[in-house]
Amino acid sequence: MAGFTVGRRNIKFAFLLPALIYLMLMAILPLVWTLTLSLTKWHANIMPKPEWVGLDNFKYFLFEDPRFWRDLGFTSMYVGISVTGELVLGLIFATLLSQKFKGKNFFRVVYLLPMACPPIAVAFLWRMMLHPDIGIINTILTSIGLNGVKWTTSATVAPFTIIMVDIWEWTPFMFLALLAALQSLPTELYQAAAVDGASSWQMFTHITLPLIAPVIVTISLIRIIDAFKLFELVFGITGAGPGSATESLSFYVYVIGMKGFKLGRGSAISWLFLIILLIFALILISRFKKQRT
Amino acid sequence: MKRKKLNTYIRHSILHIVLIAGAIIMIFPFIWGISTSLKDMREVLSSPFNLIPKDLTFINYKNVVRSIPIIRFFLNSLIVSVTITVSQLFTCSLSAYAFSRLKFPFRDGLFYILLGTMMIPQHVIMIPVYIILNLFRLIDTYAAMILPFISGAFGTFLLRQFFLTIPKELEEAATLDGCGHFGFLFRIMIPLSRPILATLAIFTFMWSWNNYLWPLIVTNRIEIRTLQYGLAMFKEEGGLNWGQLMAGTTIATIPILAMFLAMQKQFIRGITLTGLREG
């Protein structure tokens, strides 16, 4: 009997093994390792070993490096506007397409396409369309008598260009998740509300929104985390320019760590990155909890 | 009564106009990209308004195939994405089973920690994972692109949510028939979970096919690059040859869009089943 229990336990362990290995090698070990590295100076291409510097790297980014704050500013603005825009548009399209009418399935598929497209391909498609001279968008604008816009070459416009393309690419994700949520809502509530004479707007704000709020929080979190990693669009559309008006935090991490081989600094900035994300997430979750109670 | 009919008619018209406008915005970049890839350079620069090329030409595709080993890149992408997808389906099924059906200490705590790892951006773990792969001399190999992603928190989460909805009685019946945990998982749970497995497969395949940053970091040799990385080579080389760039972009995009279109019903159904709900 004892042998049997041990056997059962071993089998359980076999099921759990992939998750444990993943957790160890892709999360805990790297996190601890990066934290230790962040306290060192290590230019991997010229120094054989890391050299202990304490909190210098963190001091550098927080107090001496304007580039870090500027990139953080741009990234936060981009995340805020894009995710809000995607959520609102996604909700509008999901509401429209959860009604019954002809051709619904065609629209549903079309509205998902951008999400499946490789981000680097998205960047190139839009770079061509937004080209100041030969791009189709400026061609259309000038042909109807408007001025062409310096989509990628003006430091004030370029950040919004990135935001616009991001909204195009990721509204489909919000749309998909919200459509699924809308379809799982119980129809009885709406029938009861209709009997009581509620308008469709009242039904939307009093029934639909509260019921899908958990989904909204979940998908917003997923998108915020993902949006913070903005890299391909910057790389492919503006190359972080003009100047460095569209340099995202994750682009900067890449430049320091993977191009400059400054592993100590790279680790420190990626930990700052993680902390900022955690703060964002906690604020969002606690706000949501407050609203519920 | 007539007036009500007219109202619904107007409402439906507005609905359709909004939806059609949205659909054009969603689909136009793809059509425009394909159109540009079929024009010669002169036409791209001189008449940027033509949707249907005046002189249809495949010269850009020929040039792409001649100037970079794009077929090799295509195969590399396929090898990497298929391997990652198959292994995720397997490993995530195992851990999802553990988190939904087995009892062991700290089970839920461990699950939430795993869930928490979804918050960690790739950048934070990039450097250590690179160093580990380098230690085992794996940089510049397929393994470097595949190993970090053979299991994942998202897949485990998605499958666990679905496994929880499968009735417990089935397991009791199976145990009575002498079916062990492995037998139950592979003979009963997995066949029942086909829609959600399809969803996970599409998600994982799409994600690894589209992944650009990681192959960029762990590979140097040209022969081993993936399609997305290969595509970026155009930017450095003939950056202004839009026709060629669009031909490359089309080659990199068509397979994934085709797969998505072929499997979209399964995909949407899978999302509806789990609804990305909490729990």
Percent of chain B with pLDDT over 70: 93
Pick A76 or B188 by higher pLDDT.
A76
pLDDT grade for B49, boundaries at 50, 70 and 90 = confident
Fold of B69-274: MetI-like fold (1.10.3720)
Instruction: Give A61 to chain B, closest Cα distance, Å.
Output: 16
Among A137, A142, A133, A145, residue whose Cα is nearest residue A161: A137
Instruction: Kindly state the DSSP code that residue B105 receives in the 8-state scheme.
Output: T
- Name every chain B residue with its beta carbon within 8 A of the beta carbon of A101: 12, 15-16
Domain ranges of chain A: 66-292
- Flag whether residue B210 sits within 8 Å of chain A, measured between CB atoms: yes
Band the pLDDT of A2: cuts 50, 70, 90: very low
| Model pLDDT for residues B222-257, shown as the tens digit of each residue | 899 999 888 877 766 555 688 888 998 999 898 888
Q: Kindly report the average pLDDT of chain A as a whole number.
A: 87
Q: Are B242 and B36 in contact (CB under 8 A)?
A: yes
Higher pLDDT, A62 or A261: A62
Judge: B48–A21 Cβ closer than 8 Å, yes or no: no
Q: Which residue of B has its CA nearest to A143?
A: B49
CA gap B97, B85 in Å, rounded: 18
| A116 interfaces chain B, CB cutoff of 8 Å | yes
Section B68-75 average pLDDT: 90
Minimal-distance CA residue of chain B relative to A22: B151
* Residue of A247, A288, A291, A249 whose CA lies nearest to A268: A249
Range picked from A66-80, A91-105, A136-150, B237-251 for highest mean pLDDT: A66-80
B184 to chain A, minimum CA–CA distance in Å?
13
Of the candidates B156, B256, B268, the beta carbon closest to that of A116 is on B256
pLDDT confidence tier of residue B279, bands split at 50, 70 and 90:
very low
How near does any CA of chain B get to the CA of A53, in Å?
18
CA gyration radius for chain B? Answer: 24
Give the tens place of pLDDT for each residue, A131-179: 888 888 988 888 888 888 888 888 899 999 999 999 999 999 999 889 8
Structure tokens at B48: 């940027």
B260 interfaces chain A, CB cutoff of 8 Å: yes
DSSP string of A180-227, one letter each residue: HHHHTS-HHHHHHHHHTT--HHHHIIIIIHHHHHHHHHHHHHHHHHHH
Give A241's contacts (C-beta < 8 A, 6+ positions apart): A152, A158
Name A43's bridge partners: A262
- Those of residues 170-199 in B touching chain A at CB distance below 8 A are 180-182
Q: Which residue of A has its CA nearest to B265?
A: A109
* Res. A18: pLDDT tops 80: yes
- Phi and psi at B69, nearest 5°, equal -75, 70
* B64, B88, B124, best to mutate vs chain A, most A CBs in 10 Å: B124
Report the alpha-carbon distance of residue B15 to residue B207 in Å, rounded: 33
Report the pLDDT averaged over residues B141-153.
Answer: 93
Q: Is B69 on the interface with A (CB under 8 A)?
A: no
Which neighbouring-strand residues pair with A262? A43
Q: B119 contacts in A (CB within 8 Å)?
A: 225, 274, 277-278, 281
CATH number corresponding to A66-292: 1.10.3720.10
pLDDT digits (tens, 9 = 90+) for A171-221: 999 998 898 888 888 888 888 888 888 888 888 888 888 888 888 888 888
Query: What are the DSSP calls for chain A, one per residue?
Result: -HHHHHHHHHHHHHHHHHHHHHHIIIIIHHHHHHHHHTTEE-BTTT-SS-EE-TTHHHHIIIII-HHHHHHHHHHHHHHHHHHHHHHHHHHHHHHHHTS--TTHHHHHHHTTHHHHS-HHHHHHHHHHHT-TTT-HHHHHHHHTTPPPP-TTT-TTTHHHHHHHHHHHHHHHHHHHHHHHHHHTS-HHHHHHHHHTT--HHHHIIIIIHHHHHHHHHHHHHHHHHHHHT--HHIIIIITT-STTTT--HHHHHHIIIIIS-BHHHHHHHHHHHHHHHHHHHHHHHHHHHHHH-
**How much is the pLDDT for B50?**
77
What are the tens digits of pLDDT across the range B169-182?
887 778 777 778 88
Average pLDDT over residues B41-57: 78
Buried b (16+ CB within 10 A) or exposed e, B177-196: eebebeebbeebbbebbebb
Q: How far apart are CA B198 and CA B155, in angstroms?
A: 11
In chain B, residues 95-124 whose CB comes closer than 8 Å to chain A: 95, 97-99, 102, 104, 110, 113-114, 117-124
- Alpha carbon dihedral A197, A199, A205, A208, in 10-degree steps, equals 80
Interface test with B, best of A15, A96, A143 (most B CBs within 10 A): A15
* Per-residue model confidence (pLDDT) at position B262: 85
Q: How many residues does chain B have?
A: 279
Q: How many CB atoms lie within 10 A of CB B258?
A: 11
What was the pLDDT predicted at A88? 96
When pLDDT is cut at 50, 70 and 90, the band that residue A1 belongs to is: very low
Q: Residue B121 and residue A250: Cβ atoms within 8 Å?
A: yes
Instruction: Select the residue of B45, B249, B271 nearest A125 (Cβ to Cβ).
Output: B249
For residue B212, pLDDT over 90 is answered with no
Tell me whether A232 touches chain B (CB under 8 Å).
yes
Q: What's the token pair of residue B274? A: 């789990």
pLDDT for B139 equals: 93
Q: Is any Cβ of chain B less than 8 angstroms from the Cβ of A195?
A: no
B86: confidence class by pLDDT, cuts 50, 70, 90: very high
Tokens of A50: 């890391």
Per-residue pLDDT averaged across B49-58, rounded?
Answer: 81
Q: What pLDDT score does A76 carry?
A: 93
Q: Which two tokens stand for residue B173?
A: 């019946």
Averaged confidence pLDDT in chain B: 85
Question: In this predicted model, what pLDDT tens digit does every residue of B262-277 receive, in sequence order?
Answer: 887 777 777 776 655 4
Rounded distance between C-alpha atoms, residue A77 and residue A61, angstroms: 19
Q: For residue A251, which of A268, A271, A263, A269 has the smallest C-alpha distance?
A: A269
ipTM: 0.84
The answer to whether residue B239 neighbours chain A at the CB level (below 8 Å) is no
For the segment B20-42, the average pLDDT, to the nearest whole number, is: 91
Output the pLDDT for position B277: 47
Token pair listed for A291: 């609203």
Q: A62 — contact with chain B (CB < 8 Å)?
A: no
* CA–CA–CA angle A115, A169, A133 (5° rounding): 135
Chain B positions touching A274 (Cβ under 8 A) are 119-121, 124
